[in-house]
Amino acid sequence: MAARAVISIFMLCLFASSVIAEDPYVYYTWNASYGTISPLGAPKQAILINNQFPGPEINCTSNNNIVVNVFNNLDEPLLFTWHGIQLRKNSWQDGTPGTMCPIQPGTNFTYKFQVKDQIGSYFYYPSLGLQRTAGGVGGLRVFSRLLIPVPYPDPEAEHWFLIGDFYRKSHKALRETLDNGGSLGMPDGVLINGQTSKLFFNDNKPQFTMKPGKTYKLRICNIGSKDSLNLRIQGHPMTLVETEGSHTVQNIYESLDVHVGQCFTVLITADQDPRDYLVIASTRFAPYYVEGKAIINYEGSKKGASLFLPFAPITWFWSRNQFRSFRWNLTASAARPNPQGSYHYGQINITRTIKLANSYSMDGGKLRYTINGVSHVDAETPLKLAEYYGVGDKVFKYNIISDNPDDGLMSKVNVAPNVLTATYRDFIEIIFQNPTMSVQSYNLDGYSFFLVGMETGKWSPEKRESYNLLDAVSRHTVQVFPNSWSAVLLTFDNAGMWNLRSENAENRYLGQQMYISVLSPEKSLRDEYNLPLTQQVCGILKDMPVPEPVYH
């Protein structure tokens, strides 16, 4: 027994040194506090990080260990989540209320996680109670290690375009509206990197200045609350090079539809007359039109932008066709789950099909959004921690939804924590069925999935014949058009408790989210880390002894 313990401690050290010690650390200290911003004229209470809105970026290289010490100087609990970062074996740091106890006001907590081979553009945001509508959002860039080439030449420089719809009301006021049965309604504006130009001419500082002839890389993410946005730049078509960690076939686009939570990396070349050019982000598929503008200019030129503005596309068919043109570059060597094109997801047998149908209903005077009839509510004790402590049954029930629900609009609402189990390493098909008339956007933590199909009407097994089983893009956020379905395929090979949620803030806040629990069958440290010693506990766990490490 003793000898075995010594050996396993030895193995643990080996493991720790091979995974952690060799890889460089990147440290950040963040002070989250309230501040006043007025991008549309009127002041609004915003959440700043180190006095910045948007927040400071995280800049790292694949395999880096990221350490972020967060000081919560708000008057309410806070958690940050790392949108799109897979956190292998480590849902402990995922920053959702189902995995972590919130950082209480006046205290600090240090996140530690590693980014793996997910070269691309991501963002982080505060996951609790509509705080994302107030700020606390910033970009997260993962560069390639120099050994792994990316399939395009180094740009002259690179810039973020964090775009999103924006409400003048504070997140607390918006919360009150939703708590009282209301809806977010129409946004007051669209912001690009926290601001918007009010007039056509140089009233705002340019986002950046281009040197004639040079190529620039733009990292575009829709960090908003509700609206799909179309992004376009006067005179400068965009070459798509990466989407959420996948290098794509390098098609050229006049404009891009970016659904909430999605990110694209594009290149533009400064090959036009030297003058100012407008960048426009405008709402799509909404009964209103709201736009935000920004300026980029050319070095040495003082000429204002042209008054001819590129128009947004109109139908969502256009958008679906654009989605179909996004293809994985099968010969690029970087940013793929398994290099050299050996990952043939189209040839793996599907072991389970989970259909998730969204709906909404009134329940006791309150609007509720549901997945398969369940409107998720967070428990005071994070689900992952309750599961680890062996008291999950005191906090939630597994599998209260079925894999094959009615897929029409549902009036019945069950309000409870919604946790589905998946078998470790199963290759699963998830069908998102949207019977409503609004566009949905879903994000799954812990994974990337192959987005293989998207069509109008109801999904049925024959629809698999239309799947792209060759070069679909692997990504973390999927849109579902009105009265349509979207299908994704993935292997559940990352043990943990992972949040699957609507990226629409109102839907998410009012229950359109759930968790998927994937456990290591052998309780092996190869599959999942033990509870970190620094993890905070709360709820019913407060007075319980910390369990012996579960994984060996």
Q: Which is nearer to ligand NAG, 107 or 272 (CB)?
A: 107
| 33 makes contact with ligand NAG (CB under 6 A) | yes
**Chosen residue from 116, 143, 310, 464 binding ligand NAG by CB under 6 A:** 143
- Tell me the per-residue interface mask from 298 to 337 with ligand NAG, x by CB under 6 A, - otherwise: -------------------------------x-xx-----
Q: Name the DSSP class of 25.
A: E
Structure token digits, residue 490: 């993935």
Q: Which of residues 369-428 bind ligand NAG (CB under 6 A)?
A: none
Structure token digits, residue 265: 């990396």
Applying CB under 6 A, the site for ligand NAG has a residue count of: 18
Q: How far is the CB of 55 from ligand NAG (least distance, A)?
A: 13
Q: Which of residues 72-101 bind ligand NAG (CB under 6 A)?
A: 73
| 69 makes contact with ligand NAG (CB under 6 A) | yes
Where does residue 23 rank: exposed (0-12), middle (13-18), buried (19+ CB within 10 A)? middle
| 108 makes contact with ligand NAG (CB under 6 A) | yes
Q: Which is nearer to ligand NAG, 59 or 63 (CB)?
A: 59
Q: What is the largest CA-CA distance in the chain?
A: 79
Concatenate the DSSP letters of all residues of 380-406 into one string: SS-HHHHHHTT-GGGT--B--S-SS--
Q: Which of residues 246-265 bind ligand NAG (CB under 6 A)?
A: 249-250
| 109 makes contact with ligand NAG (CB under 6 A) | yes
Query: What's the CA gap between 11 and 18, in Å, rounded?
Result: 10
Q: Which listed range, 105-113, 414-422, 435-443, 450-458, lies at the site for ligand NAG (CB under 6 A)?
A: 105-113
Name the residue with tokens 């078509």: 237
**Chosen residue from 63, 112, 116, 151 binding ligand NAG by CB under 6 A:** 151
| 110 makes contact with ligand NAG (CB under 6 A) | yes
Q: How far is the CB of 478 from ligand NAG (least distance, A)?
A: 23
- The answer to whether 211 and 63 have CB atoms below 8 angstroms apart is no
| 61 makes contact with ligand NAG (CB under 6 A) | yes
For 276-372, where are the E strands, in sequence order? 277-283, 291-298, 352-363, 366-371
Q: How far is the CB of 379 from ligand NAG (least distance, A)?
A: 23
Distances in Å between the alpha carbon of 180 and those of 152, 171, 173, 175, 183? 51, 14, 11, 9, 9
Q: Which is nearer to ligand NAG, 3 or 533 (CB)?
A: 533
- Give the β-pairing of 238-243 and 246-247: antiparallel
222 — alpha (psi -120 to 50), left (phi > 0) or beta? beta
Q: Which residues bind ligand NAG (CB under 6 A)?
A: 31, 33, 59, 61, 69, 71, 73, 108-110, 143, 151, 249-250, 329, 331-332, 349
